[in-house]
Amino acid sequence: MTTVPVHDEDAFLTNLIFGYNDRHSEHKHVIAPASAAYTLDFTAVPAGEVWIIQAIFGRNANSPMDFLLLCVHDGANDAPLYIATSPAAGSWHAWTGSVVCKAGDKVRLYFYNATVGDNLIAHAWGYKMKVA
């Protein structure tokens, strides 16, 4: 009778294509330069990594706006994750979940009709994985 191992740890470790590398946490704070739509981009995912974004927060500390969009941008398209219509001044808006970002993707926030001089604040976090 042949015994088949239930769990072959060596085979499991050999077949991994990526693994946890580090925490990702990025904070942005800018002063709105214009009263039209303002785009706030985070760092793009570098080659050889995949980032799992688990939360994005944003707010205009000073003025109400038409809306705030939290998304992931792939270089050509936006994947909307959360939209706040008529957000009040100083209110935080958040998306939580799990989205996989490949090389070149980045977290992006659109602040629509912020007032010149407003404090625009955003934060994103998750974790990084190296691709083998």
- pTM for this predicted structure: 0.82
Q: What is the pLDDT of residue 17?
A: 58
Domains of the chain (ranges; CATH) run 24-131 (2.60.120.230)
Per-residue tokens: 12:
């499991």
Q: What is the pLDDT of residue 31?
A: 92
Q: What is the pLDDT of residue 37?
A: 83
Taking the chain (132 residues) in runs of 10, the rounded mean pLDDT of each run is: 46 57 94 84 96 97 95 96 96 96 97 93 96 78
